[in-house]
């Protein structure tokens, strides 16, 4: 009788344990399903948010699109007060955005890569951390601080010292005398480009430094063992091994340069007509929107929204081209 009772107790315990395990398993499955749908909804919400932004920009820009059409892309004049109808063209801001970003990248990429190479290959260990922290602190400075510094310090220095020397040095050279023509100015396309270069420098340096650190030491040691110099090791080992990451960091910095607003608004001069000299005032899409949107209405406001749509498309195209370049590089590396 005792064996039968013991057997029943054992079966009861086993059944209870089985029920507990089943309940625990159901809770795990429910939690996993909730986690799956939470992640899926978060991913879809990004697409919905992106789609909502595109739709709102198109709706807001539609009056300007209907009024100006493709002439908006080829007209320099920006006259919201013209009568009987405003004359608004986006060629000036588009030109300023592209040229200022290009100049900024031409300055920032070599300097940023040079700093990253110094930190990973040449820098004494005691200086590596302080310099790295200084670079990271540059990335944390608000853009308006860069703008104020550019307006009160960098702009006057360039206008009084650097620009007059460059203007006189290239005065007798065809083409270049137009690119670097005077007069010197505190507010210019070049000044804004230099501010942009300083702002995107931390992004290029930080990403390049991190990807350079992933190069296997045995590859560099083998190159040094063959008698290569540091320049040859960097050019033939480090950069080819990390080119995907370096290009990705450069494109991230370019996206930041294309959309920068406050710092550029302070120092670019906000002039819509296109001039050959980079020392002349200009404007960008983001600075034009920031300086005029609060006082705009009607067709003027719609044109500013159209500029925002063009900036969105421009940034999307740049990032898409960067992604295609990275895919091609990865495919080549795989082959």
- Average pLDDT for the chain: 86
Q: Helices (DSSP H) in the chain: which residue ranges?
A: 2-68, 91-117, 125-140, 143-149, 155-157, 163-169, 176-179, 189-212, 217-225, 230-233, 239-259, 262-267, 285-292, 298-334
Per-residue pLDDT at 180 exceeds 50: yes
**60 pLDDT above the threshold of 80:** yes
4 pLDDT more than 60: no
Average confidence (pLDDT) over 276-298: 90
Phi and psi torsions of 88, nearest 5°? -130, 125
Q: Which of 23-32, 35-44, 283-292 has the lowest mean pLDDT?
A: 23-32
Does residue 267 register a pLDDT over 50? yes
Q: What is the mean pLDDT of residues 240-262?
A: 86
In the structure, what pLDDT confidence band is assigned to residue 168 with cuts at 50, 70 and 90? very high
Question: Above 60 in pLDDT, residue 2?
Answer: no
pLDDT in tens, 91-121: 999 999 999 999 999 999 999 999 999 998 8
Over residues 174-196, mean pLDDT? 91
Q: What is the pTM of this model?
A: 0.85
Q: Is the pLDDT of residue 24 over 90?
A: no
DSSP string, 174-220: TTHHHHT-S---SS-HHHHHHHHHHHHHHHHHHHHHHHHTTS-HHHH
pLDDT at site 54: 92
């Amino acid at each position: 009788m005792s064996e039968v009772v013991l057997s029943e107790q054992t079966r009861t315990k086993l059944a209870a344990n089985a029920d507990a395990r089943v309940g625990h398993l159901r809770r795990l499955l429910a939690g996993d399903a909730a986690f799956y749908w939470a992640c899926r909804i978060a991913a879809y919400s990004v697409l919905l948010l992106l789609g909502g932004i595109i739709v709102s920009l198109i709706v807001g820009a539609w009056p300007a699109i209907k009024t100006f059409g493709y002439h908006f892309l080829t007209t320099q004049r920006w006259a919201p007060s013209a009568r009987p109808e405003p004359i608004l063209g986006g060629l000036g801001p588009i030109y300023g955005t592209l040229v200022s970003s290009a100049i900024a990248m031409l300055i920032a990429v070599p300097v940023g890569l040079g700093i990253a190479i110094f930190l990973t290959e040449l820098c004494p260990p005691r200086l590596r951390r302080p310099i790295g922290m200084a670079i990271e602190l540059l990335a944390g400075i608000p853009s308006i601080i860069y703008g104020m510094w550019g307006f009160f310090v960098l702009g006057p220095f360039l206008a009084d010292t650097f620009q007059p020397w460059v203007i006189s040095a290239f005065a007798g050279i065809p083409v270049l005398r137009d690119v670097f023509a005077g007069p010197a100015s505190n507010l210019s396309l070049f000044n804004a480009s230099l501010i942009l270069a300083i702002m995107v420098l931390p992004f290029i340096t930080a990403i390049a430094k991190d990807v350079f650190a992933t190069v296997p030491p045995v590859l560099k040691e083998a190159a040094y063992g063959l008698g290569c110099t540091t320049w040859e090791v960097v050019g033939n080992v480090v950069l080819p091994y990390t080119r995907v990451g370096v290009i990705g960091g450069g494109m991230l910095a370019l996206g930041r340069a294309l959309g920068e607003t406050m710092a550029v608004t302070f120092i670019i001069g906000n002039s819509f007509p296109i001039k050959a000299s980079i020392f002349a005032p200009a404007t960008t899409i983001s600075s034009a929107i920031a300086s005029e949107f609060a006082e705009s209405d009607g067709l003027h406001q719609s044109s500013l929204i159209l500029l925002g749509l063009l900036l969105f498309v421009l940034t999307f195209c740049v990032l898409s081209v960067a992604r295609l370049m990275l895919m091609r590089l990865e495919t080549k590396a795989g082959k």
